Every structure is written in structure tokens, then in C-alpha cells.
A and B are shown apart, each in its own frame.
Chain A
């Protein structure tokens, strides 16, 4: 199975209305970094769309943005390319990229301080219905690697809730309430520092 399109969303708490304009400032700087492994293309501004992708950074390797879709806002990393190895390797690498970019994002001076990541509340989805349709067969094939990855990141105290709607992508909401901070996970993904 050639898995490349894997999405990871880290949910956030928001005090009130989420300010998206700061992301324009941040991403307009980021796109100038032509050496970044994400191979940034440009930012895309969808702040006007209700429950939409907010303001996004589009990259050849993956996209990053503050996603407002249900079940709630969060920092969404959508991997598109450059994954290698086993399914578990690919999942771990996607989480690593997500966490590294999240760390860089929340370090930015314009990042809204009231937008607080919830380290124990994530969404994982497989953004490729050709390779990974939301079926029991896909689940049978991928579940062991997914569970191993989640255990490695969050320990055994977690719940995985599979997406039930077959029209939506194969994926899970992950609750791991015992994870107090993102720094807890960072070393498990070889992410040096989040701040």
C-alpha cells in the first residue's frame, strides 16, 4: 500500500472567535523559505468560508493550516508526498512533521495565544479513497500499524474512535487525556523542541 496522503489534526481550544488574520502574517513569511522540506508553494486564504480550512500553507510535501471543520478547530497537517518505509514509519513521520510544524507555528509572535493545542485530542485520516477506502478491509490491513503508532506516541491510555460514515475518509479521533503537553510527545517523535 503506497500511503502518502495522511492527515493529522491537533485540536485546539479557542477562547472565542478565532482570529485568522495572524496566520496571513506568519505564512507570508514562511513561504519565502524556499529551503524548507515542505517545499512551500504559497498561502491560501479561506477565512471567509464557514467551517472551512481557514488560512492554509500549501506545500508540495504537505499543507498546514488552522482548520475550522467539525468536530472543532485544530492545526491540520495534510501530508502529500515523501513518505517511505512501513505503514508505521509513515504514520510516525506524518505525526512528526505535524508536530514540528505546530511547534514552529506556536513559536511565532503573531500566533493567537488564546488558541491552545489540546495535546490529547487528535484526528488521523487517510486522505486517499483509492488506496484506503473507508472499509473493514482497509481497517484490517492498517489497524495494527495504527495502534502501534498511537501506543508509541500516547501510551496505552487512549481511545480510538473510527469514522463510521463510509462516505468520509477512513480515520480516527484519538483521545489520550493523560498526555499533559505536546512536549511529552515531542521526544517520542524526535522533535527537538516545541518552544
Chain B
């Protein structure tokens, strides 16, 4: 690839951003350079696609605008971060911060040219978008109640944070065929962590060893939803907590080496596990684990994460009213909110308060104001939840009425968290290229129905024994498989007309970390989906037996019988009911339009990435040379050459984390075997020795020219391979 005559500015120190850590500043500068290079035709669009995804920049359904995903490990957000997120949402997006089902924040309708500064400003408050999308380890999620939960074994927070930090940018986690998701839960029974639907799910467990209590995790592997959902398999009943990072590293290596790379639909770890079987997978991981060179990060990552401690702002207290029960004198509205959105903490005198965000959306004003509310009552940190809400912890009970009033002032006092009204939905056709139906449109119709008591559903909306989740397509971002009533977007044609429909999925559950998945029971027009819920909730209320869950009710009634109960809601002809051929919250006729989704990223081999990076470094070296920055030019050239050599070595199965000697290995595998043009390789060996490097103009120019030749040859060798 050509590396000269590129009309972009030379990298400069970006004085405005001098306060950012150097490595962070450099990473974003590289992103900006690559963006300019692809815009000027100097970089492969395929490689840039995966590259931008790895920075959280995801193409929307609408041409020319991007969704920016922002990684929030465990959903932990400080007040300062909330203010910055609020500000950036109004400046670069549409004023809305959207909480996702994996505890991220997403902006929509972002101009790609704004993304470098957006990333820099996020970095100012310690947030990275790195590896938010793409074939890498995505946001590590965790139970938002961790550390304050009544039923947890212990607080998994430091271990989950350590995992997030350890695998971020880790060389062993850069060559996957697909994305890789990790979740932590503090207990086995509750639904907050959803550990069993992840590639690695860790559930806190304590083992007694004599008098000693050892913290560890029950580890599940190979879970996942998507078009073909897989329940995770139990990998181990107990992995000591300090063994989790090397275990994940070993699993990453096995997945990178053996996972499917060509067939994008079968590249998740769940398919590898299915192919190998859990016993063989375990054997391979254990073998890999034994080979791993000891990494001090295994210990320091946990130690560092353990320093992030939440200290309450106020001492615990009793809510006015005496016995900890709400003082109803503060009003019925407060009472309703208290009943659904407030939960006691493990620590006496404190409560958790869930802020219900309809469809996971919060405005810039609300988020900024909420930061102030947090500082007033809890000091600092909130957590996003996998149900697309926010959780305030460490609220002193006496403050609950005042907190309620402050939340009311900013329109965030909606009751109903965790109840029927609290619906999970993916973006669907609003912004996703893969969306088939408007999942958010349906969620908004439910919201109107439940929130405003439309169709007599206000009372129903507060029931906590049914959860609704909606996905606009089979990729399952709305997690419909684990809902009591799940909706999966699809289409149905009758005659010349196509209608948006939802498959009705019944029998799943989020309990016990998403212990079972539901199955399709019927298919109804999108416009009839609200009536399905009315019908099923009425049936369940009328026939619910003592303590029977909705999932058990579905099992007892049987899907055939339940299907017959909603048979009249299925699609009729256009002539009979043309309104059924229009999606929810839309006034126009439905047309199925889907594009190529970016969930699967682009399959870019690690070697290809490294060669692209080498190319950029050669380019930077030429710019440095032009500016008479000779030392910098020579160093960039050597770095580029080493990167290109590493790229070829990676095709031989060598891993950067093995800390091999690049020159020795390259000499053995490519020079002595005659697979690389010898004079170019010898230039590399000389440059790597560093003898006589004076960084004169001539010396530097020679180094840059040699690097360009080496890179050209490396690209040829890679292509032949």
C-alpha cells in the first residue's frame, strides 16, 4: 500500500489534549489518522471497518451517521462521567444517552468526523470506547447490586473490573473470529448478572478450607443468545478468584486458535464449545493455562481494581415513619415509587434506588442533573443495569423522600422498575441495519399503555411476575429468549403485502442468571403485540397457582393451548385489516429493508491489522523525516519493521504475550528458510541491533526506506501465505 502523498496533517502534540495520558492520546491520534487515511483512499475499508468497530464506532441503518458505543465496565459511572456523557450527547449526538442491555452507553446519529474529539473528551473522565464493538472482548458486565446485595456470596466488583482492564487491548484477545462476552454475578439465584448467557459467566462462590474461606467463582462457558441460543456449560464448580485472569487468558488463546473464522454465523465461542465438547475444551484450556508465562498483571490488576471503593456520603438511617417502612404521609406517589424502585441494602440503614429509564433513554439535562443528585445523596457512583436503568446505591433511608422529590423535579421518578412496565428493547429499525421490526416502537406503545393507564393496563404494569423483552431481529440484542414474554421481530407475507410481525416467545426466565430460554409459541402482527400481553397476563392472573412462575404456568398450560388463546390475533389479509401492515409508532406502510449488520464485524486477521499498523508507522516516519525529526523518523521506521515481522510471526502461531524474541524467531522462520527476501531481512536485523544509529538525516532516511521495502515484502509474503 502506498505510504506517501497523503494529504493529511502530520501528527502534532495536540496541545489542547496534553493533559490526557500519553498512551491514550496516542491511541486516539492513531484513530484520527486512520480515519483520514480511509477517507482519502489510503487504507482498506474492510480493515478500517473492524478498526473503527474496535473503537466503538458502528454504522447505523441511516447512511452517513454512526452509533457510538461507550464501554462502561460493570456499568459503573461517576458523577463527573455522567456530566461529561450528558454534555457530549447534546454536542455530538441527539441529546440522548441510551443505556444498553450490556451496561454500555450509546449515542446515535454521530458524525464520524466528530468521533476523535468525542473519544478525547471521554478520555478526560477516564472512559474509553476501545473494544466496545468488533471481534474482541466486549464490555464486562456485572450485577449492579454487587457489594450491597443481600444475597451475594461476596462482592465480585474488583474481580470483574480487573478482568475488564486485563483483557482490554490484551494481545491474546485481538484475533477472535467473533465478539466475546464476559459477565460476573454475586449470587446464583437472582437475574442481575445473567451469567449463563455469556461466553464466560462467573458466579461468586465461597469454599471453606478448614477455617479459611476462599473466594472463587463457579464458571460457565459458551452461553449466548443470537439466532441459535446456547445455554452455557458448567466449566468448573470452583475457580479461585485469583485464577480467573489466567483462565480467561487461556480461554482467549484457545478461542483465537480454534474458533471459526470463515463462517460468521458459527464463529462465537458457543459453536466451538459445541464442536469440541466441554471435556475437550477444558483439556485444551488447562493445557494452555500451563503454558502461559507468568504475568504480574494477574495480581496487580485485582489489587488496582480493589482500590476503587464506594464510600457512602452519609451514615445509614431510618426512614421517617419509624420501622423502616415508608411514611405514607409523604404521598401515594412516593409510596408507589418506594414499593417498586427502592430495595434494602445488605448494609443497615441504606437502600438502593433504581431510576427507571423508559427504553433506556435519558436526556442530557436529566443526566447532568442526576449527577448533582448523586453528589447530594450518595457521593458519586451509580451503575447502569442490564435492564437499561440506573441504580443509585448507598442512599441513607432518611433521604428517600427528598431524593424522590429531586428525581421528580428532573422527570426521573417513574415507578415500576423491574415490573411489567420495565421493558427491555434493542434499537431495532430505529437505527440498526439488521432491524426487521420496530422494537422500540413496540416498547414505546407498551410504555404509553402502562404509564398512562391506556387500555386499563396501569394496574397490570406494576406486577413483578412477568418481564417483557423485545428484539427487532434474530440477533437477540433485546434478549427475548430470557423473557417471560419475549418478542422477536420478523415479517410475514400475505398475497402481495408484507407485514411486520413478532414471534411470541414464551417460557424463558432471567432467574438464576438466565437459567432457561423460551420457545416460539405464535406469530402476531406487530400492532397486535400489546393485545397478546393483555390476553396472556389476564389468563395468568386468572389461573395462577400458588407461587407459580409465568414460566411454570406456560409449562402447565402448554404452548399449543396458549397459542389457541391468541389465534385470533394472528395476521389477516391486507384487505381485512390494512392497519396490521404498518409497524408501531409509524404511519407509513411497512417495507422490509435490512442491510449488512456490523455486529459480526469484519473478519480481519490479526496479521492484517498489524501490517496496517506498520503501514501507518512508515507513513508517520516519512512525515517525521519531512519535518527533520530524524530520531523520531528512525524510531517509527524500526517500530514499523518490527510490527510487520510480528505480523508474519503471528501467522506461524506465535503470540505476542509469549514475549518471544522477534529477531530470533524471524531469522529462524523466514530468513533461514528463504521465505523472505534476504537483504531486506538483513536490514531489519541491523536496525534492530541499533548499532551506529546516529539519527542523521541520511541514516534516518535509509531506515525509512528500508522499512518501506520490508513492509512491502511482508505484505507480499502474507498474501502468498
Q: Which residues of A line the B interface, CB within 8 A?
A: 5, 24-25, 28, 41-42, 44-53, 56, 58, 60, 63, 69-70, 80, 127-130, 167-169
Distance from A154 Cβ to chain B, minimum over Cβ atoms (Å):
26
- Whether B301 is near chain A, meaning CB under 8 Å from some CB there, is no
Q: Could you say which interface size class chain B belongs to?
A: 35 or more
A5 CA to B95 CA, complexed, in Å: 13
- Most chain B CB inside 10 Å of its own CB: which residue of A25, A48, A56, A129: A48
CB pairs A–B below 8 angstroms (7 shown) = A24-B586, A48-B444, A49-B358, A49-B362, A50-B411, A58-B94, A169-B90
* Interchain CB contact (< 8 A) of B95 among A47, A50, A53, A70: A53
Closest to B448 in A: A48
* Interchain CB contact (< 8 A) of A51 among B64, B65, B411, B447: B411
Please determine whether B91 and A129 come into contact, CB atoms closer than 8 angstroms.
Answer: yes
* Interchain CB contact (< 8 A) of B94 among A47, A48, A56, A128: A56
Please determine whether B365 and A58 come into contact, CB atoms closer than 8 angstroms.
Answer: no
Set of chain B residues within 8 Å of A49, measured between Cβ atoms: 96, 358-359, 361-363
Set of chain A residues within 8 Å of B298, measured between Cβ atoms: none
- Whether B33 is near chain A, meaning CB under 8 Å from some CB there, is no
Please determine whether A52 and B96 come into contact, CB atoms closer than 8 angstroms.
Answer: yes
Closest to A26 in B: B587
Distance from B251 Cβ to chain A, minimum over Cβ atoms (Å):
40
A147 CA to B24 CA, complexed, in Å: 41
Set of chain A residues within 8 Å of B677, measured between Cβ atoms: none
Please determine whether A25 and B363 come into contact, CB atoms closer than 8 angstroms.
Answer: no
Please determine whether A128 and B91 come into contact, CB atoms closer than 8 angstroms.
Answer: yes
A45 CA to B438 CA, complexed, in Å: 11
Distance from A102 Cβ to chain B, minimum over Cβ atoms (Å):
19
Please determine whether B94 and A41 come into contact, CB atoms closer than 8 angstroms.
Answer: no
Please determine whether B111 and A80 come into contact, CB atoms closer than 8 angstroms.
Answer: yes
Please determine whether B91 and A127 come into contact, CB atoms closer than 8 angstroms.
Answer: yes
* Interchain CB contact (< 8 A) of B96 among A46, A50, A127: A46
Closest to B361 in A: A49
Q: Which residues of B line the A interface, CB within 8 A?
A: 16, 61-65, 83, 87, 90-91, 94-96, 108-109, 111, 117, 121, 358-359, 361-363, 365-366, 368, 410-412, 414, 430, 440-441, 443-444, 447-448, 585-588
Set of chain B residues within 8 Å of A5, measured between Cβ atoms: 91
Set of chain B residues within 8 Å of A129, measured between Cβ atoms: 87, 91
Set of chain B residues within 8 Å of A70, measured between Cβ atoms: 365
Please determine whether B64 and A41 come into contact, CB atoms closer than 8 angstroms.
Answer: yes
Please determine whether B587 and A45 come into contact, CB atoms closer than 8 angstroms.
Answer: no
Distance from A158 Cβ to chain B, minimum over Cβ atoms (Å):
25
Set of chain A residues within 8 Å of B62, measured between Cβ atoms: 41-42, 58
A70 CA to B109 CA, complexed, in Å: 23
How many cross-chain pairs have Cβ atoms below 8 Å apart between A and B? Answer: 85
Please determine whether A48 and B361 come into contact, CB atoms closer than 8 angstroms.
Answer: yes
Please determine whether B94 and A51 come into contact, CB atoms closer than 8 angstroms.
Answer: no
Set of chain B residues within 8 Å of A51, measured between Cβ atoms: 363, 365-366, 410-411
Set of chain A residues within 8 Å of B121, measured between Cβ atoms: 130
Please determine whether A58 and B587 come into contact, CB atoms closer than 8 angstroms.
Answer: no
Please determine whether B65 and A127 come into contact, CB atoms closer than 8 angstroms.
Answer: no
Please determine whether A28 and B447 come into contact, CB atoms closer than 8 angstroms.
Answer: no
Distance from B394 Cβ to chain A, minimum over Cβ atoms (Å):
23
Set of chain B residues within 8 Å of A42, measured between Cβ atoms: 61-62
Closest to A39 in B: B64
Set of chain A residues within 8 Å of B412, measured between Cβ atoms: 50
A60 CA to B60 CA, complexed, in Å: 14
Please determine whether B358 and A48 come into contact, CB atoms closer than 8 angstroms.
Answer: yes
Please determine whether B441 and A45 come into contact, CB atoms closer than 8 angstroms.
Answer: yes
A44 CA to B106 CA, complexed, in Å: 15
Distance from B295 Cβ to chain A, minimum over Cβ atoms (Å):
39
Please determine whether B64 and A60 come into contact, CB atoms closer than 8 angstroms.
Answer: yes
Please determine whether A44 and B361 come into contact, CB atoms closer than 8 angstroms.
Answer: no
Please determine whether A46 and B361 come into contact, CB atoms closer than 8 angstroms.
Answer: yes
Set of chain A residues within 8 Å of B109, measured between Cβ atoms: 41, 44, 58
Closest to A31 in B: B62
A52 CA to B364 CA, complexed, in Å: 9
Please determine whether B587 and A28 come into contact, CB atoms closer than 8 angstroms.
Answer: yes
A50 CA to B430 CA, complexed, in Å: 19
A44 CA to B444 CA, complexed, in Å: 13
A63 CA to B368 CA, complexed, in Å: 22
Given A28-B587, A130-B121, 9 new contacts (CB under 8 A): A41-B65, A44-B109, A48-B361, A48-B448, A49-B96, A51-B363, A52-B361, A129-B91, A167-B83
Distance from A33 Cβ to chain B, minimum over Cβ atoms (Å):
14
Set of chain A residues within 8 Å of B586, measured between Cβ atoms: 24, 28
A30 CA to B701 CA, complexed, in Å: 56
A49 CA to B359 CA, complexed, in Å: 9
A69 CA to B358 CA, complexed, in Å: 16
Given the known inter-chain contacts A50-B411, A53-B96, please indicate yes or no for A25 contacting B587, CB distance below 8 A.
yes
Set of chain B residues within 8 Å of A60, measured between Cβ atoms: 64, 111
A53 CA to B440 CA, complexed, in Å: 16
A56 CA to B83 CA, complexed, in Å: 23
A43 CA to B440 CA, complexed, in Å: 13
Set of chain A residues within 8 Å of B365, measured between Cβ atoms: 51, 69-70
Please determine whether B444 and A47 come into contact, CB atoms closer than 8 angstroms.
Answer: yes
A130 CA to B362 CA, complexed, in Å: 23
A24 CA to B61 CA, complexed, in Å: 18
Closest to A165 in B: B368
Set of chain B residues within 8 Å of A58, measured between Cβ atoms: 62, 65, 94, 109
Please determine whether B94 and A53 come into contact, CB atoms closer than 8 angstroms.
Answer: yes
Closest to B588 in A: A28
Set of chain A residues within 8 Å of B440, measured between Cβ atoms: 45
Q: Which 8 pairs of residues, A with B, have the shortest CB-CB distance?
A: A50-B411, A48-B358, A42-B62, A51-B411, A48-B444, A48-B447, A25-B587, A41-B62
Given the known inter-chain contacts A49-B358, A63-B94, please indicate yes or no for A69 contacting B363, CB distance below 8 A.
yes
Please determine whether B585 and A24 come into contact, CB atoms closer than 8 angstroms.
Answer: yes
- Most chain A CB inside 10 Å of its own CB: which residue of B62, B95, B362: B95
Please determine whether B94 and A44 come into contact, CB atoms closer than 8 angstroms.
Answer: yes
Distance from A149 Cβ to chain B, minimum over Cβ atoms (Å):
22
* Interchain CB contact (< 8 A) of B587 among A24, A53, A69, A130: A24
Distance from A129 Cβ to chain B, minimum over Cβ atoms (Å):
6
Distance from A89 Cβ to chain B, minimum over Cβ atoms (Å):
22
